[in-house]
Amino acid sequence: MVFSSPLFIFLYLPLTLVGYYVVPALTAGRRRRITYAWRGVWLFAVNLVFYAWGEPLYVFLMLASITFNYVLGLSIEKSSGKRGKKLLLIVCIAANMGALGYFKYAGLFLTTLGFPAMQLTLPIGISFYTFQAMSYPIDVYRGKVPAQRNYVKFGTFVSLFPQLIAGPIVRYTEVAKQLDSRGHSVSKFSDGAVRFTLGLSKKVLLANNVGAMWSWYSTQPADNISALGAWLGIAAFTLQIYFDFSGYSDMAIGLGKMIGFEFPENFNYPYIADSVTEFWRRWHITLSKWFRDYVYIPLGGNRKGGARLALNLLIVWCLTGFWHGASWNFLLWGLYYAILLFAEKTFLLNALGKLPKFVGHIYTLALVMLGWTLFAIEDFAALGGYLPAMFGAGAAIDGAALYWLRNYAVTFIIAAAACTPLPSLIAVKLGGKVPPLLKICAKPAAILSALCLCTASLINSAYNPFLYFRF
């Protein structure tokens, strides 16, 4: 895919950055603040080129989304009465969700009802940029932000290439001031380059490697999979999806820093959580907050009793499940988490609080891995075979499982450690003992080495999926 292709790393990205810093910023306004007028035009243009690289036709769909939400934000602000504002808000939600539903879910519902499938290609990142664009008129309606009158600035917000196709989901309120003025420095650019390379390494060196194991297990008949093999396979997917998605988020945040933007964090070591509730505070943070602020709290949250709490969680998690993909297994995955979170909010969290922390970690990781099984296997027949295999329906151990375990043990250990703050803590501790001159040289050398390793891996390997591009 684009972000992890050598062509992007060594051609498109350098040209984009060079162009961004060559284009002069214009100084204007009574307060003498820097307005990035021409840089904004440049960014908007390269954003569209970036998206058109993968979606030459659907770039017009994204432009239609930008234009619609831009006009709607202005219309909501100008509307004088509450009734008119509310009507425009309903139009906003209906149109945005209608477009998303048509392109993403129409085929699923038609085939489920027995009609011929629609031959529509899913636009890359439509779930991300639709939620991002839709949050803007909602926040204008709520009075949290004034409407943006500059079309290029709003278009740049929706289409920012670093996080356009797989997040993090950035709200207009978080970057409104940065669209007018943002800080640039050598240290900020350097931090961004380091973060980008770290994300690329997580994706290419870790996610792709462990993903190869899951790729093999996901194609095997259930009769051929032992209990050990089934758990190894889903453990591989558990690591793959984390390094794949958090790696992309790191690349997006890093690239944002390189052009002066500060994007919200999207992951905070989710696999060290000691409850499912905590896991969802640490995993895909921007999506969880989006559903919390725009769906869960407006529905009443947990303030209206147990029955209403159950209903609100059911609605939020059905939507969350379907947001992830046009397949019924995602709805099942959402229902699974609605039940778990309701149980934790009503009684389980209190019970877990009385137990040693390691019990909570084991409980959470086991339930999350079961959840990833529902998430990863879209075919219900295959799912119905894989789940029993995990719990001993077949052999306990087989030769294939021992082969994968023997050959991937070191990779698993490295990946498991990288899911925790341990590498950062070790780096900080060792950093205090390294001579200053060596420290100055070591960091660039390490980053350059990692970039070379990633490039070599990308050139030599045909296996390079980005799991969240389909969402």
Query: What are the pLDDT tens digits along the chain (471 aa)?
Result: 455 555 666 677 888 888 888 876 554 444 444 445 778 888 999 889 888 887 788 999 999 999 999 999 999 999 888 899 999 999 999 999 999 999 998 888 888 888 887 777 888 889 999 999 999 999 999 999 999 999 999 999 999 988 888 879 999 999 999 988 888 888 999 999 999 999 999 999 999 999 999 999 999 998 899 999 999 999 999 999 999 999 999 999 999 999 999 999 999 999 999 999 999 999 999 999 999 999 999 999 888 888 999 999 999 999 999 999 889 999 999 999 999 999 999 999 999 888 999 999 999 999 999 999 999 999 999 999 999 999 988 889 999 999 999 999 999 999 999 999 998 888 777 766 667 766 677 777 878 888 888 878 877 766 666 565 555
What are the structure tokens assigned to 71, written together?
A: 């006009």
Length of the chain: 471
- Residue 122 and residue 73 share a domain: yes
- Residue 264 and residue 164 share a domain: no
Taking residue 424's Cβ as centre, other Cβ atoms within 10 Å add up to: 11
Tell how many helices (H) and how many strands (E) occur in the chain: 22, 2
- Residue 330 and residue 295 share a domain: yes
Residue 129 lies in a domain: yes
Residue 466 lies in a domain: no
Separation between Cα atoms, residue 18 and residue 23, nearest integer Å: 9
Q: What angle do CA 471, 463, 385 make, to 5 degrees?
A: 70
Separation between Cα atoms, residue 100 and residue 122, nearest integer Å: 10
Count of domains forming the chain: 2
- Residue 107 and residue 34 share a domain: yes
Cis peptide bond upstream of 298, omega within 30:
no
Residue 324 is a catalytic residue: yes
**pTM (whole model) above 0.95:** no
- Residue 21 and residue 161 share a domain: yes
Residue 452 lies in a domain: yes
Q: For residue 34, which amino acid is it? A: I
Residue 469 lies in a domain: no
- Residue 160 and residue 211 share a domain: no
CB–CB of 380/328 below 8 Å?
Answer: yes
- Residue 304 and residue 226 share a domain: yes
Sign, CA torsion 20/24/26/27: positive
Residue 471 lies in a domain: no
- Residue 360 and residue 255 share a domain: yes
Domain residue limits at 343 = 188-460
- Residue 167 and residue 212 share a domain: no
CB–CB of 390/227 below 8 Å?
Answer: yes
- Residue 254 and residue 178 share a domain: no
